[in-house]
Amino acid sequence: MSTASDITTSEPTAPGVMSRASMLVCVAAIVLVVALFAGPRYGLLLLIGLGFGLALEGFRFGFTGPWRRMILARDPSGLIAQLVCIGIVAMAAFPLLAANGAELKGAHAPIGMAMIGGAFVFGACMQLVLGCGSGTLINAGSGNAVGAVALPFFAIGSFAGAYHLSWWTSLGSLPMMTLSGTDGLMVTLAGLVALAGLAFLLRAKGTFHMPARYVGAIVVLAGLAILHLVVAGQPWGVVYGLGLWVAKGVVAVGGDLSGSTFWAAPANAAQVEASLLTDITSLTDLGLIGGAALVAWWRAGLASPAGKLPARAWLAVIVAGLVLGYSSRLAFGCNIGAFFSGIGTGSAHGWVWFVAAFAGSWAGIRLRPYLGLEARR
């Protein structure tokens, strides 16, 4: 039993000016080294990834939490903020893609059986670990033990899902359906307004509010997403990079990827052989984790306990992490690659992804108490 004398309670103190300045110099040096040794585009992509991490953690903005609040408390604030952000991206991305189709591409994917099922399962699992594609990276970077445990299994799942992707898509897919040009943009914006309006109508009394941090997140994330499209030639994505890390590990221990249609495809095989510092999603993923860690450290948020969960909850986190990664490949993206970037660049699969993943979230929230992840209500 502890007594007053042996308890040392000290408020975590924020780092001093010199520490912060030194850290910023270190971060700038890392970005510069990547730009010098890999190429300026790759340095810039790492910087954009850091920006995503700073914005998501700094503004405490995400995807899983707002969906949870919409389902449990009928608070549509965060969901509407996400839709506004996607709308801003769409207003820039549609004309850019229409005028520069030879240099830029959207996050376009076909709708199919596996895609819909994958999105549903992803939605359920993201509520189990309370982290989506970007959220798991942000949580891991900011010292959340659940996110840190889920991350490697997310990566393994992403690799395995990509390995089997061709088999899953052979179960049945529609032709690719995309919205483009002015008409496509109008349909997309009308869809976003309709969805936001529906969420607003379903709100519980007194729940809707748009705090300054949401406005900041909308502006910064939209700006970074548009910049990402201009720099990388493709929209923001998360899960490909995680699977690639594991693919490299498999090759490093003598594994053979020639049995996978996906990993043996020339473009993917070349990326397995190339440095991670030349892979777009790997760089932004690393930036996301680093940016979140930087914000958490800056705010002295790393001093708090990591938290404890029962053993079955950790097992659930591991399984959910694996399934998150696997299902996100079948669904052609996570909340970022499919929902945010898919809708923002005119892919019909982004809309179907949202419906399926939101339904999955509803199921995932109800599963949490049975897995020991929260008390039963």
Partner 1 sequence: MRRVHVTLLVGLGLTGVLVLDHVQSQPLNPFTAPPVLALGSGMAPTGAHCAAPAPGQ
- Binding to partner 1, residues 312-351 (CB under 8 A): 328-329, 332-334, 337-338, 341-342, 347, 349
Q: Does 129 bind partner 1 (CB under 8 A)?
A: no
265 binds partner 1, rule: CB under 8 A: yes
Query: Considering the rule CB under 8 A, would residue 261 count as an interface residue with partner 1?
Result: yes
| Of 377, 369, 376, 329, the residue nearest 353 (C-alpha) | 329
Structure tokens at 233: 């030639």
231 binds partner 1 (CB under 8 A): yes
DSSP class of residue 175 equals: P
- What is the residue type of 172? G
Please tell me whether residue 152 binds partner 1 under the rule CB under 8 A.
Answer: yes
Name the minimum Å distance from CB 40 to partner 1: 5
368 lines the binding site for partner 1 (CB under 8 A): no
> Residue for token digits 């830029």?
104
> Among 219, 276, 313, 355, which residue interacts with partner 1 (rule: CB under 8 A)?
276
Angle at 285 between CA 317 and CA 272, to 5 degrees: 100
- Residue 100's alpha-carbon distances to 93, 111, 181, 236, 370, in angstroms, are 10, 25, 12, 17, 50
Please check whether residue 235 is in contact with residue 345, taking contact to mean a CB–CB distance below 8 angstroms.
Answer: yes
Q: Of 287, 261, 277, which Cα lies nearest the Cα of 56?
A: 287
- State which residue, 66 or 342, has the beta carbon closest to partner 1: 342
Return the residues of window 104-123 that contact partner 1 according to CB under 8 A: 104-105, 107-110
**Contact region with partner 1 (CB under 8 A), list: 82-90, 118-126, 145-153, 180-188:** 145-153
Q: What is the DSSP letter of 200?
A: H
Does position 306 bind partner 1 by CB under 8 A? yes
- In the list 142, 188, 335, 361, the residue contacting partner 1 (rule: CB under 8 A) is 142
Q: Does 222 bind partner 1 (CB under 8 A)?
A: no
Q: What is the DSSP letter of 362?
A: H
Query: CA 355, 70, 54: angle at the middle one, nearest 5?
Result: 90
Nearer Cβ to partner 1, position 246 or 365? 246
Element (H, E) at 296: helix 280-298
- For residue 37, state whether it binds partner 1 (rule: CB under 8 A): yes
Q: Exactly one of 64, 77, 82, 268 binds partner 1 (CB under 8 A); which one?
A: 268
Does 103 interact with partner 1 (rule: CB under 8 A)? yes
> Which structure tokens are listed for 169?
């898509």
User: Which range binds partner 1 by CB under 8 A, 185-193, 301-309, 316-324, 361-369?
Assistant: 301-309
Binding residues for partner 1 restricted to 238-257, rule: CB under 8 A: 238-240, 244-245, 248-249, 251-252
> By C-beta, is 210 or 230 nearer to partner 1?
230
19 touching partner 1, by CB under 8 A: no
- Cα R_g (the chain), whole angstroms: 21
127 sits near partner 1 (criterion: CB under 8 A): no
SS3 173: strand
